Chain A
Amino acid sequence: MPDDSGGRESSAPFRQGDEPADAVLRHAQGDTHAFAEVVTMYSSPIYGYLTRCGVHPAERDDLFQDILIKVHRAATEHPPTGPTRPWLLTIAVNTVRSHFRKLKVRRVMQFHADPAKSESAPTGTPESELSAQQTASWLEHEIEKLPLDLREVLVLCAIQGVDQKEVAATLDLPVSTVKTKLRRARLALADARCRRSLAAKREEQ
């Protein structure tokens, strides 16, 4: 099971010990090049968060820009007084939630070929690569189907590697609730995996 303290080998900068504070503060103090560092550091995690939370591709780009513009303005006008990473994540989370509230209509996320879903660099045989890609695609599809509250926690904790305490601060939830939601999300995915296995076995027969 992943270590929820966030120590994962990935390029996701939401790792413990990795703080955007320096760049944000320099930006607040007028360093014209500092915000580019912030964007470089956080563009992929934010974009990945939008994608995995189920924001439609047609709206994703606009939302991405909205979030970063909000960060830019807020960093200048109301610099964070506490930890910077939760502050930045809160902007992203609130923006996504507002976006879904405005939609008003609930819909089941239909899986479609999403060019944003990057594929890993080939490291094995074609067959194993194909299998890994299919598994990843399936998993992304199942994540999209989770309720938003579970999806938020799962994406931040289990995929982005954010510490559970920071996620709790970001989502304004007790840590125990974050843990519960994370377990429920994982169990829901495990259930889906069981069903998938059953279906696969049936097809083999």
Chain B
Amino acid sequence: MSDSAHDPCSDFREHLLALEEATPLDALHAQHMAGCEACTELYASLVEVDAELAQLQPIEAPPALVARTLARIDAEPEVASPGSVFGGIFGLVFGGFGRLLTTLFWPILVLRRRPLLGSGLLVAGAAVSGLLVVSTLFLTRDEQSAVSMASPDPVSVASTKSRDRSLEQAENSEPSNGYFDRDTDGVPDEGDGRYGDQAGDDITAGSNRPSDSAGAAFAGSGDVFEDGTVTLDGELDLSENSRRQEATLVPLAGDGANADFRVQLQTAPSSTVARNVDVDRVSGALATPSPSAQDVPAADEPVEVAAAEQPAPAEQAQLQLRDPLAGHRGDLGQRGTVGGSVDGPSPDSARRAHLQPLAQGILSPTPPAVSSSTSTGVELPNGSPSNLDLARAESFLRERERATGLTFQPAAGHFSNSYVPGDPALRSLHQRLVEAGAATLGGTGATGLELAEAARSFAQPFDAPRHSALALYVHADQSATEGERRMLVQVGLRGAARRGGTRPAMNVGVVLDLSRPLGAEDQARVRALLEALSAARDVGDRISLRVAGAQGGERIASGSFRRGQVEVALDQLFRGAAVSTPMAPLSLDAAVRASLASLAADQAPTTPLGSSFLLVVTPGLDVSPSLDRAAHVGAVAGIPTSVVGLGDATLSSLDRLALAGQGRRRLLTDASEAPAMVRSEFDAISQVVARALRLRIRLAPGTRLVSVLGCHRLDAGASARVREAERSIDQRLARSLGIQADREEDADGITIFMPAFYANDSHVILLDVVASAPGPVAEVSVSYKDLLRLRNGEAHSSLALARGTHERGPLERSVLKNLLAYELSQALDQAASRLRSGQAEDARARLAQFVELSRGVRHLMPSFASDHELSADLALVLRYDLALRTLTPPQRVTVADSLRLASRRKLFEPMFSR
């Protein structure tokens, strides 16, 4: 398992894009082509395509069609030319006007005797004629638009030119973050099989080989001393969009006492590196550890310090390398932790510096050999190999290679959705951790909530779409094979950047469950919630209140929800004030049904999806099958049901109702939280950028499915409900927003339905597959309702394996890194389960397995060794281990909740935390 060095194939491709037609390749690229089969094939294909294009025959119009067209044109009424029209009108108006005057105004004969008056009449007539002519010309202007090549008005010219300039700039600019921006050029990379057919639409596919033109080169001079020490001075300037750099020290030409060296950098899909991050001096201080790592207890092996958030100010960097002959492995980290081993022949015999190119350039875990010219202590990321048990990591990586003895499943049917940022269960976990208070856990210095929130999903190498709501990326952890190959296929989704704007008018039904009496605190919470709703009500919002209980019924009609009415209703409910209309017992089932019916009746066809919802406020409830069904039917009709639990309501039943109603579940423990809760509920609608996502993954013949990580196959009943929900959203958006309904047919392949996708989110789905040979592996498409452009959107991408033994590049490694994130999520979740059942030591053991795995993988894959996201994960797990070691019985549930929430946060960011 090894990492790839710099890949110049993307340079070659860029060169082809910039090459003028019929211009031969330059020497550099011709030389590359001579040694690269893939680029040779690409160039040959380009030449053949040009030849084939030239051979394409014209497509003749059917003679019958031509004849019909001519006949139709012949039947067209004769179209007069403007000149003849004008002349005719002129002649008619002036000639006829004269006759009219003569006929109608016989006194004209008399007026001839009065030239002045006669001239006035003629001028008036000319004015009328002119008016008629101008009107005629004006009416014929519309026809010009169909054939217009006339100069448009200056404003449109300016905007057109501006658009063209920006388009041209976008097309000719450097790829951002090392990948092509697919939204402007629409050109898929070599893995794609399908394209959209509209200019500027969301053709999305990530490049399998990122360009390293976003990186930078370090060029400088160095001095070679008689003892073999080489000093390399210079500055490292990274471009704004550069990512984590892998460094290779490459010697350039030089002789004598001076030698030039080049640090060649390759972009890697890690977190963004800020401008002017320079290599720290070796004599400088160590990088400031991240807050999460500060309290990590001393372990047997040193833990790599995570990179600091802020880059160091630009300063001259100096690397001093002792005995560089034969090989030196060093790390140019974001903050310049440097270490490595130096071995080779005696430096005394060296006169010329000779640095071997580094295969990976990133720290290889050998004991540090600190240059004596510095006083800096350097810490290794992973400790010495002798202390590591690599068995688990080797087994993990071997498993990625194993293609025999596996159980396969059909690559078809509905699978569960793993993108659930609105999952009410997460909110309940969050609420419990909030309630746990501010007590820190053991020696971690953090509360359970703080530990959980330290878990973050990895930054993905997905550019946000600019012209659509969603972008699709398909990558794999392998790029080539000679035969059968097990691989991870990663399907990535990225939502457009957050959009602002006001929310639409809301249509809200509140059902207050008073099936049992409320205590004073719960009454205060209800009052706060209703007052918050009243305060948040905007022009056009309609809110109603219906009560379930002994004195049930509608208390505030939709459209009458004002502060005064709220006060009256609360007086009636909690202070026994008289009611004008007698109330009758009403069950919660009936109240929910009545409210849903009322909301549905109030909805206009143009009501945006999500602007109507039902809010059930309850101290606790039993969800009957009929209530469950009612909530589901309401959701299918576009009216989700959210639930607000009061005080210490039983969460599982509340979660069940919220899930059935496709809504959110909240817990109102303090009245002061009510305004924020209402605001969040109202604002949720504007955060959705796409709805009704149907992700479809078709594996190529010969590719077999082992599993979809984190997703399970849905049974027939669940699949039917998913299809029903999908069709309902489809139909509803067709009615309300005019987005054409297009979901009547089922799709083949693996199908995952996501009701909504939020702005700026990224999500990955990993498929464990076995490909039988090089060639196509998978075709992926996502259909969705684009809420930014109010149209149906589609994105397509495909994946193919080249023939050969290409080593893993940054994209392939990012897929493997996401697998590690999944492994961590599983470890945290399983540790939570074990802890919940009272097995704290088993929970620790599960976490220890992950630590062993993580360290081992980072040892075997040096490019991961200094990855600060992986370092942060490791630090987090060690903190949980500390918390478990010092666990007190009252903290058990808190730590379990924290572990569970952290496991979810590794995969996506929950909605409630935005």
Contacts and interface: CB of A to CB of B under 8 A. Distances in A.
Interface residues on B, range: 35 or more
B358 to A, nearest CB: 31
B576 to A, nearest CB: 58
A54 B59 CA distance: 13
Contacts of B776: 195, 198-199
A201 B804 CA distance: 13
A74 B59 contact: no
A147 B197 contact: yes
A16 interface: no
Contacts of B386: none
Contacts of B593: none
Interface residues of A, number: 99
Nearest to A71: B147
Given A77-B143, A78-B143, A147 B58 contact: no
A interface SS class? helix
Interface stretch (B47-55, B223-231, B817-825, B886-894): B47-55
Given A189-B49, A194-B41, A64 B187 contact: no
Given A108-B796, A158-B53, A76 B81 contact: yes
A202 B81 contact: no
Nearest to A150: B186
A65 B190 CA distance: 38
B59 A8 contact: no
B708 to A, nearest CB: 23
Given A2-B53, A87-B149, A108-B796, A146 B195 contact: yes
B79 to A, nearest CB: 4
A65 B72 contact: yes
A41 to B, nearest CB: 11
| Candidate in B56, B168, B198, B201 with the most chain A CB atoms within 10 angstroms | B56
B200 interface: yes
Interface stretch (B12-20, B502-510, B659-667): B12-20
A183 B17 contact: yes
Contacts of B168: 174, 176-177, 180
A140 B784 CA distance: 28
Nearest to B786: A106
Contacts of A44: 58-61
A125 interface: no
Given A2-B53, A2-B54, A187-B46, A73 B187 contact: no
A69 interface: yes
Given A1-B22, A147-B196, A202-B774, A91 B740 contact: no
Interface string B61-74: 11001101110110
Contact of B73 (A68, A106, A159, A179): A68
Nearest to A78: B144
A35 B53 CA distance: 30
B69 A64 contact: yes
Given A73-B79, A108-B194, A199-B776, A116 B59 contact: yes
B807 to A, nearest CB: 19
Identify the 10 closest CB pairs spanning chains A and B, nearest first. A149-B199, A47-B61, A74-B147, A48-B59, A147-B186, A190-B46, A193-B45, A43-B61, A190-B45, A202-B775
Interface of A: 1-4, 8, 10-12, 28, 35-36, 39-40, 43-48, 51-52, 54, 61, 64-65, 68-74, 76-78, 80, 82, 86-87, 90-91, 94-95, 100, 104-109, 116-120, 132, 135-136, 139-140, 144-151, 154, 158-159, 169, 172-174, 176-177, 179-181, 183-195, 197-199, 201-202, 205
